[in-house]
Structure 1
Amino acid sequence: MPDNTNSATAQSSKSTDEQKDTKDGKDAPPVAQSQISMRCLIVTQDASIIIGKGGSHVNEIREKSGAKVAVSESIPGNPERILNVSGPLDAVSKAFGLIVRRINDEPFDVPSVPGSRAVTIKFMIPNSRMGSVIGRQGTKIKEIQDASGARLNASEGMLPGSTERVLSVAGVADAIHIATYYIGNILIEANERAPHSSTHSSYRPSSSASSSSSSRPRPSSYSTPYTPHSHGPPAQLQEQKIYIPNDLVGCIIGKGGSKINELRHLSVCNIKIMEPGAQNNAGGPENERLVVITGQPANIQMAVSMLYHRLEQEKQKQLSQTGTSSASHVR
Structure 2
Amino acid sequence: MAYSRHDNNGVGVEDTVYRYLCPVRKAGSIIGKGGEIAKQIRFETKANMRINEALTGCDERVVVIYSTSEETNRIEDDVDFVCPAFDALFKVHDMIVAEEVENGDGYYDDDDEYSEKQIVTVRMLVPSDQIGCLIGKGGHVIQNLRNETNAQIRVINENLPLCALALSHDELLQIIGDPSAVREALFQVASLLYDNPSRFQNYFVSSLSSMHQSGGLLMTPALTRSHKNYPAPRDVADAREFSICFICPAENVGGVIGKGGCFIKQIRQESGATIKVNTPETDEDDDSIIFISSKEFFEDQSPTVNAALRLQTRCSERVGKDSSDSAISTCVLVPNSQVGCLIGKGGALISEMRSVTKANIRIYQNEDVPSIAREDEEMVQITGSLNAAAKALTQVMLRLRANVFNMDRGLVLLPTFFPYISQTTETSSKPKHRKGENHPHGSMDIARNEDYGSQRNLNAPRRNRVY
TM bin, normalised by shorter chain, reads 0.3 to 0.5
TM-score (ref. length: structure 2): 0.32
TM-score (ref. length: structure 1): 0.43
Task: Give 1 or 2: higher helix fraction.
Answer: 1
